[in-house]
């Protein structure tokens, strides 16, 4: 029995020693501004010592400064429900970062709601850019802001900018969704110019989007926007989704 207790004590001692070393390394990396490298060390420390104010606040800071709000939320609220008995400068630093992140994602959510309504793409893009500027560490906000710029360009009939952004996004994130947006932008260019090259390229990107849409949800999205793009290519008339739905899909629904 004594031997078993000794083994347990040695194991726990080794575990806490390792956690202390991870905290030391993580803190040093945070001080050097190397937050991405620091985060794994600090997460490991928090797993062993979740009640350590120092470890939790350092991990939360590193997570927020690398855009990992999910990890920050987990470690901060996993510490006595997010409560700290003796708030100090480290706590206030994290509190400021957390507030910025929350305000940024609130703006992003508002932008998303506007974008889904249709007809508010410029305002949606503005809000998403504000969110990205408020919390630049979350690089996905900047990516989303540029995607919203596509909608804003379409809304103001700036099809050159629409195509330029769509092609850049497609090169950065090749896939069925971005290929579909390029197809849409090329169809707009064909509609206003009559240049058959744009039509040919649009059809090629649309085919690529169709081939890449393998999952049921992807296929459903593809069928929705492909119908509108094909209409644009056939008629050389550019209308947005709400107008297209009202003109064509409402008739289908009534007939059914």
Return d(Cα 19, Cα 45) in angstroms, integer: 5
Residues 166, 114: one domain? no
Return d(Cα 237, Cα 241) in angstroms, integer: 13
**What b/e string do you get for 10-28 counting C-beta neighbours within 10 Å, with b at 16 or more?**
eeeeeeeeebeebbebbbe
**Token reading at 224:** 């929705």
CB–CB of 118/242 below 8 Å? Answer: yes
**Token reading at 43:** 């997460």
Of 61, 86, 111, the last residue of a domain is 86
Q: Indicate whether 35 belongs to any domain.
A: yes
What's the pLDDT at 8? 36
Rg of the chain over Cα atoms, rounded to whole angstroms, equals: 26
Domain boundaries, position 205: 157-256
Percent of the chain with pLDDT over 90: 64
Residues 33, 81: one domain? yes
Residues 118, 69: one domain? no
Whichever domain contains 27, its CATH number is 1.25.40
Q: Say what angle helices 196-212 and 176-193 make with each other, to 10 degrees.
A: 160
- For the chain, how many structural domains are there in total? 3
Return d(Cα 219, Cα 216) in angstroms, integer: 5
Residues 60, 115: one domain? no
Q: Indicate whether 45 belongs to any domain.
A: yes
Residues 125, 41: one domain? no
Q: Residue 63 pLDDT > 60, yes or no?
A: yes
* pLDDT interval class at 15 (50, 70, 90): low
* pLDDT interval class at 77 (50, 70, 90): confident
**What b/e string do you get for 221-238 counting C-beta neighbours within 10 Å, with b at 16 or more?**
bbeebbebbebbbeeeeb
Torsion of CA 74, 78, 82, 85, to 10 degrees: -140
Top pLDDT among 253 and 38 is at 38
Interval 164-216: pLDDT, tens: 999 999 999 999 999 999 999 999 999 999 999 999 999 999 999 999 999 99
Q: Indicate whether 94 belongs to any domain.
A: no
Average pLDDT over residues 107-113: 94
Residue at token pair 């459903």 = 220
What's the pLDDT at 18? 61
């Amino acid at each position: 029995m004594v031997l078993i207790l000794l083994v347990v004590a040695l194991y726990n001692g080794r575990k806490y020693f390792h956690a202390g070393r991870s905290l030391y390394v993580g803190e040093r990396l945070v001080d050097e501004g190397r937050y991405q490298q620091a985060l794994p060390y600090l997460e490991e420390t928090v797993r062993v010592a979740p009640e350590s104010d120092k470890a939790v606040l350092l991990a939360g800071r590193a997570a927020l400064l690398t855009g990992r709000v999910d990890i920050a939320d987990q470690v901060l609220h996993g510490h006595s429900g997010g409560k700290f008995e003796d708030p100090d400068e480290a706590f206030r630093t994290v509190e400021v970062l957390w507030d910025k992140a929350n305000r940024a994602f609130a703006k992003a959510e508002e932008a998303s709601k506007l974008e889904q309504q249709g007809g508010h793409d410029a305002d949606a893009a503005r809000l998403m850019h504000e969110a990205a500027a408020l919390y630049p560490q979350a690089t996905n906000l900047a990516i989303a802001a540029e995607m919203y710029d596509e909608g804003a360009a379409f809304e103001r009939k700036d099809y050159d900018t629409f195509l330029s952004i769509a092609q850049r996004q497609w090169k950065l994130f090749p896939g069925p969704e971005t290929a579909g947006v390029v197809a849409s932008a090329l169809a707009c260019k064909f509609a206003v110019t009559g240049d058959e090259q744009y039509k040919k390229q649009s059809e090629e990107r649309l085919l690529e989007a169709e081939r890449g849409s393998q999952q049921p949800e992807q296929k459903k999205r593809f069928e929705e926007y492909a119908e509108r793009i094909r209409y644009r290519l056939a008629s050389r008339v550019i209308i947005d989704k709400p107008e297209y739905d009202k003109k064509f899909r409402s008739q289908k629904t009534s007939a059914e």
